[in-house]
Amino acid sequence: MHAVVISGTGLYQPPHTISNAELVEAFNRYVDLQNEQHAAAIAAGDRAPLTHSSVEFIEKASGIKQRYVIEKGGVLDPTRMYPRFAERGDEELSLMAEIGAEACRQALAAAGRQGSDVDAVFCAAANMQRAYPAMAVEIQQAIGAGGYGFDMNVACSSATFGIEQAVNAVRSGTAKCVLVVSPEITSAHLEWRDRDCHFIFGDVCTAVLIERADLATATEQWEVLGTKLVTQFSNAIRNNFGFMNRSEDSDPGARDKTFKQEGRKVFKEVVPMAAAHIEAHLATMELQPSAIKRFWLHQANLGMNQLIIKKLVGAEAGVAGSELAPLILDEFANTASAGSIIAFHKHRAGLQSGDTGVICSFGAGYSIGSVIVRKH
Ligand code: CO8
């Protein structure tokens, strides 16, 4: 068994931002158009009018102030309300592979590695652009990696679950250098016309390089002390889009074919699960939450992270958004499985050699994944 380190991370950040004000303006124009179009049915009481969204609500309920998107025009067009992507030919690099390769190249550069050093690529994300060939195999080719690649999806926990697979492969000796890449094009699977969730997601891609500790040469390394995964079935976050839709003669535009959730229920059920999970994982290493220098938590909701941190270390010790539990969701929104990795990528400066931190994701499934790391 080999010791394993995270030796580099990368982040692809899309070129466009949408502020809450821009988002709400487009949404409210959509609502007005719909209400005008259905004025007679609304007046007859046959249809309920749609209601405006509000910047104040979004910031208060979620902590999100803006999001990055790969394409902005389609999302903000009140007659469309989803991004506009040109279909690419089979000979062209697909969009997920393009942003994946960029994040991977950054992670490799940070670790002082090249594509040819990599012997496995795991593409771990909440949505895949196509059924096959696997996105991971296309990314593997784009960066000049050897070995093998596969795709995996555990929604918001895809990246941490991918890290465990990579750590196990390196620990057991089946691979020496593995990339876990999480291209999250959430804008294509968000229902931008639903007031309850139109503000939640943003696009991004992260990459994490996992290597054998005795072979890694990166100036900054994080030993992976352990990983712990759990799933528990829930319909509270669900998306019924899939290859069976055609055969079931279901409407591809139906509401259940994009992201759907019972936000309150998710909030109430996942917070205690995530806090207990982290505590139990730390206990297996005889570590107390108070000994942890940083928590890089999943980035879905400011209030969720506040409560998790409070349960772990007490209200006096730290709040979400402090150094102890950095926030990136104000800038990036919820980026599905990439959130905790963005937090780790951007907010790990200042920790000393020997300091311990926890990366933890939580989301649909339900699924929770934690990775305990120690700075070399
Ligand atoms: N503007 C103004 N008012 C609004 C709006 C709005 N946009 N939306 C709702 N309201 C109103 C409601 O109508 C309600 O009014 P009333 O009290 O009169 O009925 C009131 O505000 C309160 O509504 P809620 O109770 O719904 O609001 P919450 O305080 O619960 O906040 C949140 C909603 C922010 C969604 C919150 O519940 C939350 O964040 N929950 C947790 C969500 C979460 O963590 N989800 C994780 C899922 S992500 C995941 O696993 C990845 C999936 C794969 C990604 C796919 C990509 C697309």
| Residue type, position 3, single letter | A
Question: Closest Cα partner for 362 from 247, 250, 275, 279?
Answer: 275
Cα–Cα distance, 278 to 327 (Å, whole number): 18
Best mutation site among 261, 302, 307, 366 for ligand 1 pocket (most ligand atoms within 8 Å of CB): 261
* Minimum CA distance residue for ligand 1 atom 21: 57
* Minimum CA distance residue for ligand 1 atom 43: 300
- Average of pLDDT values for 33-57? 97
Residue 322, token pair as written in the block: 């402090």
Cα–Cα distance, 30 to 22 (Å, whole number): 13
Q: How far is the CA of 197 from the centre of ligand 1 (A)?
A: 6
Catalytic residue positions, numbered: 156
CA dist 91 to 25, 87, 368, Å?
Answer: 39, 12, 37
* Minimum CA distance residue for ligand 1 atom 42: 263
- Residue 334's domain comprises 222-375
Q: How far is the CA of 16 from the centre of ligand 1 (A)?
A: 24
| Residue type, position 298, single letter | H
Residue 337 CA: which ligand 1 atom is closest?
51
Ligand 1 contact, 196 CB (< 6 A): yes
Q: Would 236 be classed as within a structural domain?
A: yes
Q: Is the pLDDT of residue 102 over 90?
A: yes
pLDDT digits over 301-339, tens only? 999 999 999 999 987 766 767 889 999 999 999 999 999
Cα–Cα distance, 106 to 113 (Å, whole number): 10
What's residue 318's pLDDT? 66
What's residue 316's pLDDT? 72
The separation between the first and the last C-alpha atoms of the chain, rounded to the nearest angstrom, is 19
How would residue 69 be classed by pLDDT, with cut points 50, 70 and 90?
very high
What's residue 145's pLDDT? 98
Q: Would 141 be classed as within a structural domain?
A: no
Q: How far is the CA of 263 from the centre of ligand 1 (A)?
A: 5
Cβ-proximal residues to 208 (8 Å cutoff; 6+ apart), any chain: 6, 8, 9, 107, 159, 162, 163, 166, 179, 180, 181, 341
- Percentage, residues of the chain above pLDDT 70: 99
CA angle in degrees (0–180, nearest 5) for 200-202-204: 150
Cβ-proximal residues to 328 (8 Å cutoff; 6+ apart), any chain: 299, 339, 342, 343, 346, 347
Cα–Cα distance, 310 to 325 (Å, whole number): 11
Q: pTM here?
A: 0.96
* Minimum CA distance residue for ligand 1 atom 32: 263
Residue-level length of the chain: 376
Ligand 1 contact, 337 CB (< 6 A): no
What's residue 86's pLDDT? 96
Cα–Cα distance, 289 to 275 (Å, whole number): 10
The CATH number assigned to the domain holding 319 equals 3.40.47.10
- Percentage, residues of the chain above pLDDT 90: 97
Residue 103, token pair as written in the block: 């994040």
Cα–Cα distance, 255 to 239 (Å, whole number): 9
Q: Would 9 be classed as within a structural domain?
A: no
Q: Are 366 and 161 spatial neighbours (Cβ–Cβ below 8 Å)?
A: no
How would residue 218 be classed by pLDDT, with cut points 50, 70 and 90?
very high
Rg (the chain; Cα; Å): 21
Q: Would 196 be classed as within a structural domain?
A: no
Q: Would 232 be classed as within a structural domain?
A: yes
Helix (H, G, I), strand (E, B) or coil at 317: coil
- Average of pLDDT values for 103-113? 98
Q: Is the pLDDT of residue 131 over 80?
A: yes
Q: Report DSSP state, residue 91.
A: T
How many domains are contained in the chain?
Answer: 1
Q: In what order do the strands lie in the sheet with 356-363?
A: 148-152, 120-124, 177-184, 204-212, 4-12, 222-231, 367-375, 356-363, 294-297
Ligand 1 contact, 20 CB (< 6 A): no
Q: Would 51 be classed as within a structural domain?
A: no
Q: Is the pLDDT of residue 3 over 70?
A: yes
Ligand 1 contact, 266 CB (< 6 A): yes
Residue that the structure tokens 């959130």 belong to: 339
Mean pLDDT over all residues of the chain?
96
Q: Would 115 be classed as within a structural domain?
A: no
pLDDT digits over 231-277, tens only? 999 999 999 999 999 999 999 899 999 999 999 999 999 999 999 99
Question: Closest Cα partner for 177 from 229, 231, 134, 121?
Answer: 121
Ligand 1 contact, 263 CB (< 6 A): yes
Q: Are 285 and 260 spatial neighbours (Cβ–Cβ below 8 Å)?
A: no
Q: Are 336 and 125 spatial neighbours (Cβ–Cβ below 8 Å)?
A: yes
Which neighbouring-strand residues pair with 209?
Answer: 8, 179
What's residue 233's pLDDT? 98
Residue 213, token pair as written in the block: 């500790």
